[in-house]
Amino acid sequence: MASGTEDDDWLEVWDARLDAFGRIFGPAYDNVFHASHPFVLGGNADVVAFFKSLPGAVYVTADLSGKPNASYADYELMICHRSPNDWGPNIISRLAA
């Protein structure tokens, strides 16, 4: 997808990131855990959930990768639970910064 605006760039990176996650973890849960204050403005990272790839729940941050010129690391954080849970996504969202 060719892009011309910053919003297009964000969407292109977001879609590519979710596609890569989907190849590893299967389809993402419909809801994204969005941070109340965006990561790019000094807030926490968004987190995507996966419930079909492994028994239990997989949560992965979705703000750190795909930006080669960024001043922060180019990886995501992941945590697994035996069942859906809120504390894990909250922790990795905060740790991302």
- Note the pLDDT tens digit of each residue in 13-63: 889 899 999 999 988 888 888 888 888 888 899 999 999 888 899 999 998
Number of structural domains (the chain) is 1
pLDDT score at 52: 86
pLDDT in tens, 27-40: 888 888 888 888 88
pTM of the model as a whole: 0.82
According to DSSP, the residues that pair with 79 across neighbouring strands are 59
Residue 90 near residue 43 (C-beta atoms within 8 A): no
Domain span at residue 72 reads 6-95
1 lies in some domain: no
66 lies in some domain: yes
